[in-house]
Amino acid sequence: MDFRTTDTPLLEWTGDALALGFFEDAVELTGDLASLDEKLSGTLQELIADAEFKGKDGSSAVTRVGGSSPIRKIILMGLGKLESLKLETLRRAAASSARLAKKQRCTTLGIYLPIWNADPAATAGAIAEGIELALHQDNRFKSESEDKGVQLTQIDLLGLGEQSAAIALSQKIIAGTILARELVAAPANALTPIEMAETAQAIAAEFGLQLEILEKAECEQLGMGAFLGVAQASDLPPKFIHLTYTPSGTPRRKLAIVGKGLTFDSGGLNIKVAGSGIEMMKIDMGGAAATLGAAKAIGALKPDVEVHFISAVTENMISGHAMRPGDILKASNGKTIEINNTDAEGRLTLADALVFTEKLGVDAIVDLATLTGACVIALGDDIAGLWSPDDALAADLLQAAEKAGEKVWRMPLEERYFEGLKSPLADMKNTGPRPGGSITAALFLKQFIKETAWAHLDIAGPVWADKEHGYNNVGATGYGVRTLVQWVLGY
Ligand code: BES
Ligand code: MN
Ligand code: ZN
């Protein structure tokens, strides 16, 4: 996709489709828009009347321009009320105009949207994000691409001045997001722990990041009994991935991102039954995918912050070697865990990953995990849960998520609920009662952090979209990458 910010006045722009944004109850053709309407022989006025277009958020209308006009199609995009304009509104409007232009077989698209918050750079970046993410199609597993025929190849951003730097920044974030989408969408027979390690290797090579892969024997030496307990039924070797981005000067801060990396979660001996969504469990490395996607973006953006990217990657399988319900495992910090449900495996892999990460001496740790179905019940498909004992870190993450346009809701770390994890034999069980299941999962993770500022994001809902919505297509969303990048850049 070729994005151009052009100084061409609205009236002089020529191309296949021109998309225009309007606020709700302010669909008026004045100034340049009046002149444009005149030039297009009243097409705008007609379309507004025919479609009863009122500028409602998310609405759109499209028509052909008759005669030998230098513009073939007009697209109207509703932006909702002026007072409630968000960057996210513009991302979505840009996405829907690109989808429409593509459907209308257009090659070039001009976009004319209001500037958000007097910030033309952020506006241009958001438009680029909305368009690229909406048009991304994954053809890797088709014998023939379904994306043939006319392609939208050029986007002109009108009225924003020169914004190539802002667009280049967005494109780096988008590349990381698309990597995360592709990792999540890849089935478990195509994306094993080995391919995850190779992906990390490719990022390290491309951007000069440092890579450390701990094989099973090294994990054993470090006493990672919780991670290895999960890994022991798989025929594939577990891979503990640690990528490091180091800035050239003195880092202002040191941060760590940890992702749950189950390339498949069968449930183990507490096997997932029909109707539990077992066929979707290739998505269970969504946290690791966001981690590697963020590594790719950070590697390209080169901020002056040191960032560690960590994932304990394996599958949760069944075999004669499988951990049994009732087994007691010892994690690398010495804590013992009675396994009362082998399907609560993500927290076991994260336990050892968090202990490893805290030893790096970073200022803050954020983990992302498709950890619980309970979080999906609580917050639905669009919103991730956030748990943190640290109010400043929680606030930073909420702000980063708002900027990124990813929805996050802070949840309570209700200490009393840890009673549900008490074990008569071991230090704790791995599963509490069904009520508050996403909270006990977060409390379990907290046992493996001593003193470093830490936050946990449960992304089980937003990692995947069942319906096309905004710039998300059906399938993997790449959720988390954009929030993580904003969080790192915000320091
Ligand atoms: N990977 C699942 C959680 C999940 C569920 C992710 C649905 C995405 C969509 C996790 O390992 C799991 O199985 N959690 C159990 C925990 C339970 C056994 C305490 C769950 O949520 O049912
Ligand atoms: Mn599970
Ligand atoms: Zn899982």
Mutational pocket test of ligand 1: of 343, 347, 376, the residue with most ligand atoms within 8 Å of the beta carbon: 343
Q: What is the pLDDT of residues 337-348, one digit of tens each?
A: 999 999 999 999
The pLDDT, as a whole number, for residue 324 is 98
Q: What is the pLDDT of residues 129-147, one digit of tens each?
A: 999 999 999 999 999 988 7
User: Span 42-47, mean pLDDT?
Assistant: 97
Element (H, E) at 89: helix 87-103
Q: Say whether 5 sits in a helix, a strand or coil.
A: strand
Question: What are the b/e assignments for 204-242, b being 16+ CB within 10 Å?
Answer: beebebebebbebeebeebbbbbbbbbbbbbebebbbbb
Protein residue closest via CA to atom 5 of ligand 1: 373
Per cent of the chain over pLDDT 70 is 100
Residues having CB within 6 Å of any atom of ligand 1: 265, 277, 284, 341, 343-346, 370, 372-374, 376, 431, 437, 460
User: 190 phi and psi, to 5 degrees?
Assistant: -100, -30
Q: Which atom of ligand 1 is nearest to the CA of 371?
A: 3
Closest CA to 123 of 178, 69, 70, 169: 169
Q: Say whether 437 sits in a helix, a strand or coil.
A: helix
What sections of 104-221 are H helices per DSSP?
120-135, 164-185, 193-207, 216-221
- CA 95 to each of CA 98, 132, 171, 328, 469: distance values in angstroms, whole numbers, following the listed order: 5, 8, 15, 50, 10
Q: How far, in Å, is the centroid of ligand 2 from the Cα of 342?
A: 7
Q: Which atom of ligand 1 is nearest to the CA of 437?
A: 19
The pLDDT, as a whole number, for residue 150 is 85
Q: How far is 362 from 348, CA to CA, in rounded Å?
A: 22
Environment of ion ligand 2 (residues, CB < 5 A): 265, 343, 345
The ligand with the least distance to the CA atom of 429 is 1
pLDDT value at 91 more than 80: yes
Q: Give the count of alpha carbons within 13 A of 123, CB side only.
A: 19
Strands 475-476 and 464-465: antiparallel
pLDDT value at 148 more than 80: no
Q: How far, in Å, is the centroid of ligand 1 from the Cα of 310?
A: 21
Q: How far, in Å, is the centroid of ligand 2 from the Cα of 418?
A: 20
- CA 146 to each of CA 99, 137, 141, 143, 186: distance values in angstroms, whole numbers, following the listed order: 15, 9, 11, 9, 17
User: Span 223-249, mean pLDDT?
Assistant: 98
* pTM of the entire predicted model: 0.98
Q: What is the pLDDT of residues 452-487, one digit of tens each?
A: 999 999 999 999 999 999 999 999 999 999 999 999
Q: How far, in Å, is the centroid of ligand 2 from the Cα of 381?
A: 18
DSSP structural state of residue 450: S
